[in-house]
Structure 1
Amino acid sequence: MITEKKAMIKNGIILSLFALITTGLVTATQIMTKDQIAMQEKRQLLKVLEQVLPKGKYDNELYLDCAIVKASFLGNKKPHKVYRAKKDNIPVALIIESTAPDGYSGNIEVLSAIYLDGTVAGVRVLKHKETPGLGDKVEVAKSQWITKIKNIQVKSEQDIRWAVKKDGGMFDQFTGATITPRAVISAVKRASLYAQNETDMLFDAANACAKVDK
């Protein structure tokens, strides 16, 4: 009995040491890769920002100049970043994160670059769970559909052009999938209207991204 007890204690100690070593290794790996992951995320962000708004349109560091807003008009009340493009310190455009809550398989996270007159400069989908082969055509890697949402102004909330053709609008839907493009178009339209209605507030808001590299 004593021998069995000693064996159990020994095994417990071994398991505890193994758990501590494993946890330590995981923690060390996270610490060592933290900066690398942050740099990769920064590169990806810069790449997407330049895709939606041509670099020549602004001269400030976009990823270091943003406001964070909570507005249900952008799809839900979670925090959304709004990047502020300026040239010679003059406001040029807003790049707005928004959510399409009515995707076929859930939320679709959208990034829309909006000039001050409400014209859409470019759009990309940041995250989605849409059906492969159908709804995932919102990805620029799968289809050029989203690259065509640009250089078009949103005139008002009643601007019926901002819809898929099935609903009487001017944008193509996907074969066999209308819900996904409908949701994205609606999200972009709301982002443009929000930018037009809240321009001054968004440019005057405190900078929430200045500490990124500090």
Structure 2
Amino acid sequence: MDFASFREKIGYQPLLLGSFALLASGALAWASNATGEAIAAAEAKDLRDSLSEVLPAGLADNDFLKDTVDLDRDGKTVTIYRARRAGQVSAALFKVAERGYAGDIQVLMAVDMDGRTLGVRVLKHSETPGLGDKVEVRKDPWIRGFDGRSLGDPGPDQWAVRKDGGVFDQFAGATITPRAVVKAVRGGLEFFAAHRAEIGS
């Protein structure tokens, strides 16, 4: 049987297609294995850098990426990264989110065991450039206004932007964005307070 007549047989196309699929999946598996460790290491470095941005130097002598506890918040799992010094939990680092003007605003915060914020950063948002993006620390220092705050400072009625009777500034033309961040940080502090014992163990 010559190649031309073999090619006309009904099983030729599926056989050829299957061979290419097998080769392609093998190549993808090899590439995934070859780059998997490098990708995981890069992701871990990015996460560590982000967490270190909200955690003041000297508060952790442990690898807080490996010291975690998962807790439930409104049906979603929140991973708490625990910073320890001399074996004692000194701070909790975690993400919270609230709906902004154009989508969810993801906030990373560090809280000490007394319930005070050590640092807050916006990790991800879809807010309007030039207006709502002032929540980014590289564009405006506004986000640093949460440093050292707690549920008692300011009082419960003042955890809001000035337009709503609170102590936090809003941006001209973009009140919804800072309002969402204030709500996220307050919610994060309430979440921490409700789970302080579990986090500190």
Q: Give the TM-score range, shorter chain.
A: 0.7 to 0.9
Partners of 1:8 and 1:181 lie apart in 2 by 65
Give 1:68 shift: 0.4
Aligned length: 198
Which runs of no fewer than 5 residues in structure 2 stay unpaired? none
Q: 1:93 aligned to 87, 91, 107, which one?
A: 91
Matched, 1:26 2:28: yes
Q: Which residue of 1 aligns with 2:116?
A: 119
Please report the TM-score for the alignment, with normalisation by the length of structure 1: 0.80
Matched, 1:80 2:78: yes
TM-superposition CA deviations, 1:126-179 (whole Å, max 9, x none): 333333443333333443332332122221895233211221222222332221
CA contact (8 A) 1:164 1:172 kept: yes
- Alpha-carbon RMSD across the aligned residues, in angstroms, is 2.5
Q: 1:181 aligned to 173, 178, 196, which one?
A: 178
Amino acid at match of 2:200: F
CA contact (8 A) 1:116 1:195 kept: no
Matched, 1:192 2:194: no
Partners of 2:160 and 2:15 lie apart in 1 by 65
Q: Answer with 1 or 2: which has the greater Rg.
A: 2
Structure with greater contact order relative to length (CA < 8 Å, sep ≥ 6): 1
Amino acid at match of 2:59: K
**CA 1:33 to 1:139, structure 2 compared with 1: closer, same or farther past 3 Å?**
farther
Q: Which residue of 1 aligns with 2:64?
A: 62
State the percentage of identical aligned residues: 38
Partners of 2:171 and 2:21 lie apart in 1 by 51
Please report the TM-score for the alignment, with normalisation by the length of structure 2: 0.85
DSSP-derived class of the 2:156 partner: coil
DSSP-derived class of the 1:160 partner: helix
Which runs of no fewer than 5 residues in structure 1 stay unpaired? 205-214
DSSP-derived class of the 1:79 partner: strand
Partners of 1:105 and 1:134 lie apart in 2 by 12
